Structure 1
């Protein structure tokens, strides 16, 4: 099986996040599993998504975890939720990719998991760590491209108490571990004054098992690097300031539209909420090839308030990105 990414597939399945020429923070939630059609293709058929970058991104995650094991942490009271998350993701994978992923229940509490993409053939007893080669969040995290956050619900709040996050966008899972939902979103401009954060938390706490929801989030990034956690800021942060010196061709290749498809799933056994984050990126030079995307992204960037562009980390090159996209439009006859 080839490990080379198919860029055409990247375009067809890219979750372009804008439906109008302006953008403001919103809860932006809708039922999961319903395909969204775009000018280039469609996305959103399933809760988990495997594409041509599967092997590459799993290898990146393993390398990140070797260098920084703190990217995966499970507080003691969340160990049952980690098992619940693993089994839930196995079910989602087997539903989405039945030709290569299968989960069989062999007896009460005993399962047989096969992932033909990675060569895994594993029988295990649910809840018994002796029957897995790794702890459950590590085992399943090595088979999905999504980052995983597990939220405990107590005291009428949600708390970030477990997860495996290697591809964060300018935040730190280790720093946020143990924080409440509202504390985690404290730095985001506008969402507290408008009540968006509180409404989003209440919505998540009303989730029912078997009824997952999703939303998108987005930013611009430089270089196409997936791991943009605050722990590695010295490795990727300085590149943002150098974008203004790039030639036009290099600017279009280096600056990416970065989109997260985020799923909220109520775990049936533990009652916790699983928050999945799948990150997609396309360089502006590719975005510009799809005319509706080019024109809409240019309009969104030009109109976006400065505080939002600053929080998302691209204020320094926001105007150039909008101008660059507009300059790619064909001249009027």
Structure 2
């Protein structure tokens, strides 16, 4: 099947395994260029707007309504919140000028979100010129989760964020932790020094520099919110997937890929960490034979400790079985 015959959701999916062998690493690369896959390409803009925009934001508002603590900001992150808001507004307006606009007249800014029908004037730094904190305001208008890293005392600290689509972690638990503490549970990388090296790299970013990386796991059904707080809602499906019909696995089990952007802000010196979650069911992955084979091989080769950390110890077996039964993969 050629790329031209593939559904758009497949052609632009950020398939995360471009190489013959997989090894856990930081896999960081400069942002701003399109990445080519066997099905198409993805990745020019740090903030992505696609056909799921309105649905994703409705889901974010539902989650925030049920759990307002998905937004966290320590008091000293106020300036970084404002800078993040105007930065993301500019990105949206530059990438989609037909749908978003940002104008400035002296201290007064004017923002228009044509997709949501929002029209707002504000003054940077004046809290009551917005209906809510600036990070929460802009976070409800992008599909990405947003985390802000403060740099001080020779380290990075996760001191603010709006995260409604976490993959088995909790912003409420992590806020205020150092970069090394946040990544404490990750196996293997500490012995290899990956996390300290990643922190040193990030602390060396200059204002305006942008990098990206991908991360992946598996999710049952198209569920964006798999945060620690909602484990009772989704954990059962992960445990029981293998007990259902194998034919259902292709429809229900999704390859979950995060496209993560890291951007150094100029005025506040914070690092803006954007996390966009993409979900593709195995039956769509199988439309690209090369993807099916690579995913199969990765699931087979992944060490048990990494499978446990990613939360796929119970789902990778059904995934492997489905790929072998319904695609032409070589075992």
Over 6 Å off, 4+ runs: none
**Partners of 2:209 and 2:7 in 1: how far apart?**
31
| 1:59 maps onto 2:54 in alignment | no
Deviations 1:230-267 (A, max 9, x none): 00101101111111112122111111100000000111
Partner SS, residue 194 of structure 1: coil
Structure 1 counterpart of 2:134, from 126, 136, 139? 136
Conserved 8 A contact 2:296-2:329: no
What is residue 163 of structure 2 aligned with on the other side? 165
What is residue 3 of structure 1 aligned with on the other side? none
What is residue 313 of structure 2 aligned with on the other side? 315
What is residue 3 of structure 2 aligned with on the other side? none
**Partners of 2:78 and 2:102 in 1: how far apart?**
21
- TM-score normalised according to structure 1 size: 0.94
Partner SS, residue 180 of structure 2: helix
Question: Post-superposition shift, 1:52?
Answer: 0.5
**Partners of 2:315 and 2:266 in 1: how far apart?**
44
Deviations 1:150-175 (A, max 9, x none): 11100000001100000000001000
**Partners of 2:25 and 2:140 in 1: how far apart?**
32
Deviations 1:137-156 (A, max 9, x none): 11101110000001110000
Conserved 8 A contact 2:289-2:328: no
**Partners of 2:181 and 2:127 in 1: how far apart?**
32
What is residue 218 of structure 1 aligned with on the other side? 216
**Partners of 1:319 and 1:133 in 2: how far apart?**
48
Answer with 252-261 or 34-43: which moved more: 34-43
Deviations 1:252-305 (A, max 9, x none): 111110000000011111111111100000110111111111111011111111
Question: Post-superposition shift, 1:329?
Answer: 2.9
Question: Post-superposition shift, 1:331?
Answer: 9.3
Answer with 323-332 or 27-36: which moved more: 323-332
What is residue 154 of structure 1 aligned with on the other side? 152
| Structure 2 unaligned spans of 5+ | 1-5
**Partners of 2:89 and 2:187 in 1: how far apart?**
36
What is residue 181 of structure 2 aligned with on the other side? 183
Structure 2 counterpart of 1:324, from 315, 322, 325? 322
Partner SS, residue 73 of structure 1: strand
What is residue 306 of structure 1 aligned with on the other side? 304
Partner SS, residue 213 of structure 1: strand
Partner SS, residue 28 of structure 1: coil
Question: Post-superposition shift, 1:330?
Answer: 4.2
| Structure 1 unaligned spans of 5+ | 1-6
Answer with 48-57 or 119-128: which moved more: 119-128
**Partners of 2:40 and 2:18 in 1: how far apart?**
15
- TM-score normalised according to structure 2 size: 0.95
Deviations 1:26-62 (A, max 9, x none): 1111111110112222110101001111111101111
- Report how many aligned residue pairs link the two structures: 325
Conserved 8 A contact 1:295-1:326: no
What is residue 294 of structure 1 aligned with on the other side? 292
**Partners of 2:125 and 2:35 in 1: how far apart?**
37
Answer with 35-44 or 176-185: which moved more: 35-44
Q: Cα gap change, 1:318/1:21 in structure 2, threshold over 3 Å: closer, same or farther?
A: farther
What is residue 209 of structure 1 aligned with on the other side? 207
What is residue 15 of structure 1 aligned with on the other side? 14
Matches within 5 A, 1:15-164: 15-107=14-106, 109-164=107-162
**Partners of 1:266 and 1:143 in 2: how far apart?**
21
Conserved 8 A contact 1:21-1:297: no
**Partners of 1:9 and 1:126 in 2: how far apart?**
38
